[in-house]
Structure 1
Amino acid sequence: MKNHSAVDIFLSFYAWCCAFILTSAVLTILGYLLFHGLSSLNLDLIFAHTPVMDALFLKKQVFGGLLPAITGTLALIFLSMLFALPVGIATGIFLSEFARSGTRKILGLMFDIMASLPSIVVGLFGFAVTIFLHQHFFKQLYPCLLISALCLAFLVIPYIIRSTQIALESLPPQVRLTGPALGATRTQNLWYVLIPMAAKEIIGGIILAIGRSAEDTAVIMLTGAVATAGVPNSIFSGYEALPFFIYYTAAEYANTSELMKAYGAALILLFICGGLYLFAYWIKRKVR
């Protein structure tokens, strides 16, 4: 008993130490960004010298401010989720409720391999496909917002699939039998019982996918993000994005003021991600 007690104490101490180190690292990073970037957060950082109302109503283009990058980032997240959510959730439902054992194992292995792909590989593949389509089918197609959104959707789909599949498979047997016991068909049981009961865990996977699509840089730098493009006027145009702006500015800044803009952009990106997480968490609470 004494040995077991010592092991339990050691494991508990080790777990607390790991949690403390991780929390300290996150707080250190946040504190560093706040210390360096908080002073640069102002309207000039976002709108530069353009009047605020003219910029918001697109009467004048913003050059030198972060409004185009913020707009491009939000458009990128929206489009990638628009493509990824229906496919990911439907595939997760298929694997959990309709696929045979052999099919489930093969597809599960494929999706696990997809999830492990480096984002730079996905970006390079999207760039190669764009060049192929440009040369043989669509002469007007270039790297653009649509290509970046499709590549990001491909990148996050495995997370949505797995979270949906695991959420449905984790439901207890008595929940699964509730609908059929009341005379519901398989589809009715899935739609009215299983999916609502698993919705909280499914939304958790969606939150992770949103974070991944908001922060990835390798994919967008190969498939459409540019340093100066203004607010995108269509899904087939180039665009600016906060992750690419941070990477580009931090790598090639000429003076301290430009580096401070990168810190400010990093804070804005964190605020956007935090706002999206809180919105998703609110939906999660409502669903529960």
Structure 2
Amino acid sequence: MSEKALKWTDRAVVVFAWSSAIILICALFLLIGSLLKNGWQTLGLDLIFGNAPPLDAILLKRRVFGGLFPAIAGTLLLVVLSVSLAVPIGVCAGVYMSEYASAGLRRILGLCFDILAGVPSIVVGLFGFSGAIILHRIFDGFRPCLAVSAASLAILVLPYLVRTTQTSMQGISPGLRITALALGASKMQNIVYVLLPRSMSGILSGIVLAIGRCAEDTAVIMLTGVVATAGVPGSLFGQYEALPFYIYYISSQYTDQAELMTGYGASIILLCVCLALFLIALGVRKGLSHQVFYRI
């Protein structure tokens, strides 16, 4: 290929890259602008707390009717429980894939996790619903609940955590890998004190992705315990409300324009909840990265 053709190819690639970035940014602003245009008028304490005093609702002294506070609380509990279940298993599995599994076993397990990552969320929801039916036959009175939803979402996000942990640990330079071993550290000490801290940034990136998936998924929770009206969850084995299901319910069964606008308002609140969770996770990642840098 001539030099002139290479220059035109480079320019075409640059133009395509910039065009793609601009299209994505425009789509993002279009989405957010559409939500704000339709839902900003509904935003307020009444949308969240209804007729209940905010402080009484937060302290659980008074139940909220006609507000989104139970759905917000249910969403936060669901995300925390799901991530808490998935992170230890996913990180440990990623460490095994990176440091202990043979090449053949790594390929087999990698294929299994890739297949699990491609399973539709509705199938995972059906799996959780089937598990709830089995538990109902063993324990009379057991039914789809917050615990079942959290476990199902943990299964849904597990492949992301495994793969990000494995990729982060395998990306560490060989020189750093053998430093602690050369000084007499055991393999476990090398993993705990060197490899995992150096991989923490990538692991937390996987956790951020898991948080977003848990907060937005609707298909799984529809089959495993979420309802339109339940109040703030009183236990892990009770039904609950969640913002994604509320948005789906309102958008599919609204009776007037004002009710539909509350769905847009709930969408804005869900985005704010996800943004807050992302910022917390990113802050933790940045803090841990600085600690690891100064320690090493």
- TM range, normalised to the smaller chain? over 0.9
Equivalent of 2:42 in 40, 43, 46: 40
Identity %: 51
Residues 73-92 of structure 1: pairs in structure 2 closer than 5 A: 73-92=75-94
1:94 and 2:96 are equivalent in the alignment: yes
For residues 191 and 54 of structure 2, the distance between their equivalents in structure 1, rounded to whole angstroms, comes to 48
Cα deviations by residue, 1:157-190 (Å, 9 ceiling, x for unpaired): 0000000000000111111011112221111111
For residues 225 and 14 of structure 2, the distance between their equivalents in structure 1, rounded to whole angstroms, comes to 48
Give 1:213 deviation, angstroms: 0.4
AA aligned opposite 1:273: C
Off by >2 Å, runs of 4+ in structure 1: none
Partner of 2:142: 141
Deviates more, 1:156-165 or 1:180-189: 180-189
Partner of 1:114: 116
Partner of 2:70: 68
1:283 and 2:284 are equivalent in the alignment: yes
Partner of 1:222: 223
> TM-score of the superposition, structure 2-length normalised?
0.96
For residues 74 and 271 of structure 1, the distance between their equivalents in structure 2, rounded to whole angstroms, comes to 12
Partner of 2:19: 17
Give 1:39 deviation, angstroms: 1.5
Equivalent of 1:26 in 11, 25, 28: 28
Partner of 2:106: 104
Partner of 1:55: 57
Give 1:132 deviation, angstroms: 2.0
Partner of 2:294: none
Cα deviations by residue, 1:97-147 (Å, 9 ceiling, x for unpaired): 011111111111000000000000100111112112212x01121010000
Partner of 2:186: 185
For residues 271 and 61 of structure 2, the distance between their equivalents in structure 1, rounded to whole angstroms, comes to 28
AA aligned opposite 2:94: G
Partner of 1:233: 234
* Aligned residue pairs, count: 287
Deviates more, 1:84-93 or 1:251-260: 251-260
Equivalent of 1:126 in 114, 128, 133: 128
Partner of 1:274: 275
Give 1:239 deviation, angstroms: 0.2
Partner of 1:5: 7
**Any gaps of 5 or more consecutive residues in structure 1?**
none
For residues 22 and 55 of structure 2, the distance between their equivalents in structure 1, rounded to whole angstroms, comes to 45
Q: Give the alignment's Cα RMSD to 1 decimal.
A: 0.8
**Any gaps of 5 or more consecutive residues in structure 2?**
290-296
For residues 47 and 69 of structure 1, the distance between their equivalents in structure 2, rounded to whole angstroms, comes to 11
For residues 12 and 216 of structure 1, the distance between their equivalents in structure 2, rounded to whole angstroms, comes to 35
For residues 180 and 38 of structure 2, the distance between their equivalents in structure 1, rounded to whole angstroms, comes to 56
